[in-house]
Structure 1
Amino acid sequence: MNNNLFFGLILLSFNYNCAEVNSQDIAQNTTAVDSVYVGQTHFSDDVVREDPLYTAIVRVDKQSNKEHLLSIQMNLKNNSYFVSPTEPGSFTGKFTIVLTEPQQLQTNGAIMETPLSKVDENEGFAKLVRDNTHYKQSLKVLSKENFEVYGYIQFTIEPRCSLEKIPFILSYVDGKLSVKMDGC
């Protein structure tokens, strides 16, 4: 009985290993994915702002000695949306990052948006953010001294039509840049 089972498993493994796989068929059944939403993840040193229409998570990561990355995760709720920072038109409530002390810390390059927002033809052909989106802004430290720079994220959240400001402080102490909540 054991010999028959053993020979049967060997025969089955030969058939399995010799099966022909048509890679072209497999490739035709795949689809391109722009990005994958993993869910909210934040650490104890992140600034988190909860609202019924969104959750904003702000953090800073070191890239090199003087380069840092300001990372903002915008998780939208209840069919809310806002105007993308990549929208070329002039909108009062466009998503914006503002820093108050450009002589100590400044943005370096354009803000990166993932996934990219799309033009919404139903809302006047503007680029609207309707999905959970991650923003990255490169920051350059210009001072060797310890400092604090005040900043905020500003945007109009729809459909509530309210101008939102998320204040934060970027603190540079002994070569380490960190973010903390400003105000309540």
Structure 2
Amino acid sequence: MTSQDLALAMTETKSETVLTCKKGPLEYSLFDQPDLNRELFAVAFRAEAQSHSLYNLIVDMRLKDGGHFVSPNATGYFSGKFTMVIDDTDAFEVIGKLIENPLTKEELDLHPFINGPVNWVRENTTYTQQIQLNTENSFEVHGYIQFTIEPACTLEKIPFIIKQNDGVLKFEFFGC
């Protein structure tokens, strides 16, 4: 390979990495586009109306290439357990717990870092959090999901925004 070919290959690689992060809110993450920084999973966010003021916030986790993470339903202490955090607001109330579908089953993992029972999420899974709106006014509320994706053992923190404008509620992927 000549130095000119190597420089061209490096330029092409650098241009691909620019695609890994889009600034600003997106209705969905990059399920069908290259996502070089998160090759073990992809995520989508959406809101579904159940009534005039009752909504389901849905996080759709797609696992790729053997990716897995600890379920929020695992009973032991795991620092990288899947968690959803929403900033405090008067705009809505969170109703009930985060619902996992399909529900994971506890299994015995003898790895030294686990060495006991754990609920691994090993297949595409949705998480649903119900909210009750307290206002018809416009608002924006930030939050994030966080989990450790295995086998990469990286802590992932994915920000989102819940916003209402002109009576339309959206639950969106936000930033990088």
TM superposition shift of 1:125: 0.7
Alignment of 1:46-125 (within 5 A): 46-49=27-30, 50=35, 51-123=38-110, 124-125=116-117
Aligned partner of 1:127 among 97, 106, 119: 119
CA distance in 2, matches of 1:87, 1:128: 8
TM superposition shift of 1:106: 2.9
Aligned to 2:141: 149
The structure 1 segments of at least 4 consecutive aligned residues displaced by more than 3 Å after TM superposition are none
Aligned to 2:113: none
CA distance in 2, matches of 1:97, 1:58: 12
| Match status 1:140 vs 2:127 | no
Structure 2, unmatched stretches of 5+, are 1-25, 111-115
Aligned to 1:162: 154
- What is the one-letter code of the residue matched to 1:116? L
Aligned to 2:9: none
Higher strand share: 2
3-state SS in 2 of match to 1:111: strand
RMSD of equivalent CA atoms? 1.6
3-state SS in 1 of match to 2:66: coil
CA distance in 1, matches of 2:63, 2:94: 25
TM superposition shift of 1:122: 2.1
TM superposition shift of 1:174: 2.4
TM-score of the superposition, structure 1-length normalised?
A: 0.70
Whichever of the two has the greater Rg, that structure is 1
CA distance in 2, matches of 1:182, 1:134: 18
TM superposition shift of 1:89: 2.3
3-state SS in 2 of match to 1:137: strand
Question: For 1:45-103, what per-residue CA distance to the aligned partner results, in whole angstroms no more than 9, with x for missing partners?
Answer: 73215420001111111111111111111111111111101112222111111111332
> Structure 1 vs Structure 2: percent identity of aligned residues?
40
Alpha-carbon contact 1:82-1:94 (below 8 Å) kept: yes
Equivalenced residue count is 140
Alpha-carbon contact 1:105-1:149 (below 8 Å) kept: no
TM-score of the superposition, structure 2-length normalised?
A: 0.73
